[in-house]
Amino acid sequence: MKKWIFAVLLCGVQFVDAEEILTYPADDGIGMNSSSFVLWADGYTDYVCGTNLAPTWKTPEKALGAAVGDSYDIVGLGSGGEITLTFSQGIADGDGADFAVFENGISSTFLELAYVEVSSDGIHFVRFPNYSLTLEKVDSYGDVDPTLIYGLASRYKQGVGTPFDLSELIATSNTIASGIHEFSTEFVADFTNNIGFLDFEHVSYVRLIDIVGDGNCFDSEGYAIFDPYPTFGSAGFDLDAVGVINRSAVSGELQTITFEPIPHQQLDFRTLELSAEADSGLPVSFSVSGPAALTNSTLYFSGTGTVEVVASQGGNAVYAPASPVLRSFRIAERVQHIFVEPIPDSAAVPGYFTVRTYSSSGLPVYLYVDSGEGYVGELDHVYTLPSSAGTVTLRASQPGDVYTAPADDVLVQFRVLDTAEDLVGFSEWATTGDYPVLEYSRSKDRFGRDALKLSYGQSSVVQGTSRLLVSENLQTWTNAVPEITAQTVTNGMVEMELLVPATGSNRFFQVEFEAN
C-alpha cells in the first residue's frame, strides 16, 4: 500500500511518500490544564444528534468552556451526528498548534473518531487532511492504535487534547496545487471549493462530525476508517471541549463575564431574575431564545422547552469585547432531584449489595461507576464488589421525560477496604447508643422557595445505611426523598446536608438507620 503521510517536523509540515504503512507518533497531546490555552469555545450551532444516543448525553452546552476531563461532562454526537462550536474572539494561525479537541475516551486506545473542519464565515468549512491506517473492523469495545490515525479527533483519552495546526491547511493547499498527491477526488473537490473563504487570522467555527466506524466513512485518501462499532446509548464522538492556543488579534484590555449556570425551571415559577458580571465593571446585556421573554434582566416563561440565554459585553474604548457566556436550561411542568442513601465502606471480598436511590419525580434513576473499580447495574442498582481495594464514586442520573426536567447528577463515594477488620457490624454499633444527631434550620432551595435544611453525620465503617422519613400524623412514615446539597467524607464520617421543600401542612421528619 502506498500512502502519503503527514510528518510533523520541527521545520514544519511535509508529506512523506511511503511504500509501507508508517505510524504517527502519539506524543503531541496537550493536557487540559496547560497554560497554552487562552480561550475556549463560547457558543454552538447546528447540533444534529446521530443515532443511538440517550437523552442524558444531549446537552450541547457541556462542550462550552474549559475541558473537564471526565466521562460525563460532555455532549454526545451519536452515530453520524455533528456539532459546530463558535469562538467569538477567533482562532488564528500562529506558532505550532492553534487549537485542540478534547474527547472523553476512557483509555488511550478506546478512541471514537470525528472529522474536524474549520470556517471563518460559518458557511464554507475546510476539513483537515486525515489518515486512518486501521485495516480491520473494531469491535464495540475494541482498541484503536493512536499511532495509526492522524488529523482526526481524538487520538487521546479524556483530559488530553488532540492538537490542530491551521498551517497544515496551507500545506495541503500547496500540495493539491502541485498535482503530486494521493488525496481522493472527493476530498480535493471539497477542499478546493472552500479553502479560499478561510481567513487564517480569524477562524470562528470548528465543526466536529462523528465517524461511523463500520468502514463506510473514508479518510482523505479514500481509505475506510474503523473505530469501535456498533456502540449504544452514548454512541459516537463524545465532545468535552475545544481549547484555543492562538487567538485572533484584539485591541483593548481583556475582560471576562461571570454568569453562573441556570438550573432547570418549573413552568409555574413564571419568572427568573438573571445576574451576570464583567470583571471590567461594564454592564452585561442578555439575549434569549426559546419559550421565554426578556424584560431588562427578568425572564418571563411562556411555555415549556429549552431556553438559551447569552450574556454579552461589547467592550468600549478601553476594553475589548468579552467572550459571551451561554447558559441553557429547560422549562418543564415539574423539576426533580435525586437522593442516594449513604453507602458504607465494604471489604474487597466476593459479594454485592443494592444501592438505594430515588428521584422526587418517581422516575427511574440510572446508576454508573464514575470512578474506581466494580460494576453497578444501571437500573437494578446492584453493585458487585471488586477484588481490589480503592475509592469508588457512583453517579446517579435521571434524564427527565416530556413533563419533567432532568435532575442534576448526584455523586456518592465510598471505600472498598483490603479486609473487613476495620468494619463495624450494625448490631454492634446499635448497642453503643452513639447515634447521629439530626440538626435542622430554615433555609431556601436553589429556586428561592422556603425549605427545611437537615444535617447529620454517620460513620462510614458501620455496616448500615440511613434514610429520611416524613409523616403528617406520626403514624404513617414514607421516604422523604430530600435533595442532597452537600455530602462529604471526613475522618471516617459521612456528613449529610439535605433540603426538603416547605409545604402548607405540618410534617415530621426522622432519620431511620438500618443494617445493610
Q: What is the dihedral of CA 85, 90, 94, 95, to 10 degrees?
A: -50
Residues forming CATH 2.60.120 domain(s) in the chain? 30-244
User: Would you give the DSSP letter of residue 305?
Assistant: E
Which pLDDT score, from 0 to 100, does residue 22 have? 53
| CATH code reported for the domain at 338-422 | 2.60.40.10
Quick one: fold of 30-244? Jelly Rolls (2.60.120)
> Which residues make Cβ contacts (< 8 Å) with residue 384, sequence separation at least 6?
351, 352, 374, 375, 376
- Map 119-166 to HEC letters: ECCCCCCEECCCEECCCCCCCCCCCCCHHHEECCECCCCCCEEEEECC
DSSP strand E in 351-420: where?
352-354, 357-359, 366-371, 375-376, 382-384, 390-397, 410-417
**Separation in Å, CA 131 to CA 31, 113, 126, 258, 356:** 23, 11, 16, 40, 48
Which pLDDT score, from 0 to 100, does residue 23 have? 62
Q: What is the dihedral of CA 397, 338, 477, 487, to 10 degrees?
A: 120
Quick one: fold of 438-515? Immunoglobulin-like (2.60.40)
Report the amino acid identity of residue 173.
Answer: S
For 237, phi then psi, to 5°, come to -65, 135
C-alpha cell at 8: 510533523
Which pLDDT score, from 0 to 100, does residue 162 have? 96
C-alpha cell at 286: 442578555
Residues forming CATH 2.60.40.10 domain(s) in the chain? 338-422
Cα separation, 173 vs 168, in Å, equals 9
502 CB neighbour count, 10 Å cutoff: 15
Cα separation, 349 vs 464, in Å, equals 17
pLDDT tens digits in sequence order for the chain, 516 residues long: 333 333 333 233 333 343 444 567 777 899 999 999 999 999 999 999 999 988 889 999 999 999 999 888 999 999 999 999 999 999 999 999 999 999 998 888 999 999 999 999 999 999 999 999 998 999 988 889 999 999 999 899 999 999 999 999 999 999 999 999 999 999 999 999 999 999 999 999 999 999 999 999 999 999 999 999 998 888 899 999 999 999 999 889 999 999 999 999 999 999 999 999 999 999 999 999 999 999 999 999 999 999 999 999 999 999 999 989 999 999 999 999 999 998 999 998 889 999 999 999 999 999 999 889 999 999 999 999 998 999 999 999 999 999 999 999 999 999 999 988 889 888 888 887 677 788 889 999 888 888 989 998 888 888 888 888 889 889 999 888 899 998 888 777 888 899 988 877 788 888 888 887
Cα separation, 65 vs 76, in Å, equals 16
Cα separation, 160 vs 435, in Å, equals 46
Whole-prediction pTM:
0.81
Which pLDDT score, from 0 to 100, does residue 11 have? 31
For 147, phi then psi, to 5°, come to -80, 0
* CATH architecture of the domain with range 257-332: Sandwich (2.60)
Which pLDDT score, from 0 to 100, does residue 3 have? 37
C-alpha cell at 22: 508508517
Cα separation, 160 vs 152, in Å, equals 14
Cα separation, 118 vs 138, in Å, equals 28
Contact 42, 63 (CB under 8 A): no
Which pLDDT score, from 0 to 100, does residue 432 have? 77
- Specify the 3-state DSSP secondary structure of 238: strand
Closest CA to 483 of 394, 408, 392: 408
Which pLDDT score, from 0 to 100, does residue 130 have? 97
Cα separation, 515 vs 509, in Å, equals 20
Q: Which residues pair with 322 in a beta bridge?
A: none
- Specify the 3-state DSSP secondary structure of 468: strand
